[in-house]
Structure 1
């Protein structure tokens, strides 16, 4: 397996949840980090954790649904770190409700963040990867991108789109030694799902953000000649 020491990674939604856990896991491997999130306040905890680890990192506030925001944030990160080796498109939002009750504005917010956010950030980073003939892109989709369910039409549509985008991009850039992987986790215990529903589930039995972070580290450490295109992560026995 290859070392990640000294590589540069950009993580969207990088202040907490899956993004924050992945930042910590990569920092422990010696990766330098650029983190994007929607608010300055959300970085407070992750900054302390990364500082305690002695990590090299820079943070930038941006709404990934806005291309101008992304361009500004990526420029700030690249000015501090240089070219990015690893991109993890993790930022996402969800809205839930019957199709007829989901407003056009709600649809637009979900699609602009989950799909176009991935597009904007990837477009900003990809040219450098192509020039270097090297890179890793991991896009976070969802089990909802494999199977639609009642009450999640907007979220499912956005996550189906992320899978299609990832597979097409992979076919385009694998000749440039760029690995594009897409993850389709089942329920992960994060702020996006915490507190939803009235069942008596035990949160500790569900997949944790740290589990997904460890998995991504293992993907990135595979020898460059090999990658896992699509993979699903499930809780073993959450019932």
Structure 2
């Protein structure tokens, strides 16, 4: 079993929902945490709570869809926090409407954040992992990236794209002992899902953010010789 205590992780979209749950799960394992997002107040509050778990914590507020900002802010994170061992590409947005009705700006924004943002952050962090000749990258896709549905064209296109990007990347960097894992959860009772009306979040029936975080911890603790390429997580009986 891999010992992850003392490693340094970057979690995008780490102040709320899935990202927040992942951050706390990693922190409880002794992983030092850097979180990113666009809401500085939310990042500051979450970082303060994480710091109570006796780990190194920092945050940076920027838009993952802005490549220049990604490069600049991650460089600053490295200077004050150190280089990373683990990258969790979690940041994402969603909106649902027909192809005819959805505004072009909204469709484009979903692609820019969910797909290009994942690429920008990964491209910036990857040289650090290659230099160490070891690392873990976890891509948060969705079951919407496996199957399309009416009104999900933008979200599905972005999440299909993440799966394709991750599959290609995995084949490039496994020779550097870097494990790339793509996770495809179905509807989880996250802030975003509840705000969009996708679920009421009944904890007796519907996946909770903490369930998804447990899967990530289990994946990271696999022996280095073992790599979970991909997995889907579903509610048993919603």
> Is the TM value for this pair above 0.5?
yes
Q: Distance in 1 between matches of 2:26 and 2:199?
A: 34
Q: Distance in 2 between matches of 1:29 and 1:212?
A: 15
- 1:173 is aligned to 173
Unaligned runs of 5+ in 1: none
Deviation, structure 1 residue 44: 4.0
Q: Distance in 2 between matches of 1:5 and 1:201?
A: 31
Q: 1:134–1:98: structure 2 CA closer, same or farther, 3 Å change rule?
A: same
- 2:116 is aligned to 116
- Secondary structure of the structure 2 residue equivalent to 1:194: helix
Deviation, structure 1 residue 90: 0.2
Does 1:68 pair with 2:68?
yes
Deviation, structure 1 residue 202: 3.0
Q: 1:38–1:212: structure 2 CA closer, same or farther, 3 Å change rule?
A: same
Q: 1:105–1:236: structure 2 CA closer, same or farther, 3 Å change rule?
A: same
Unaligned runs of 5+ in 2: none
Matches within 5 A, 1:18-33: 18-33=18-33
Counting matched residue pairs gives 238
The answer as to whether partners of 1:36 and 1:73 remain within 8 angstroms in 2 is: no
The list of structure 1 runs, each at least 4 consecutive aligned residues, that deviate by more than 2 angstroms after superposition, is 195-204
The answer as to whether partners of 1:188 and 1:209 remain within 8 angstroms in 2 is: yes
Q: Deviations over 1:183-203 (max 9, x none)?
A: 000001111110434887735
- Bigger CA drift: 36-45 or 90-99? 36-45
The answer as to whether partners of 2:189 and 2:201 remain within 8 angstroms in 1 is: no
- 1:34 is aligned to 34
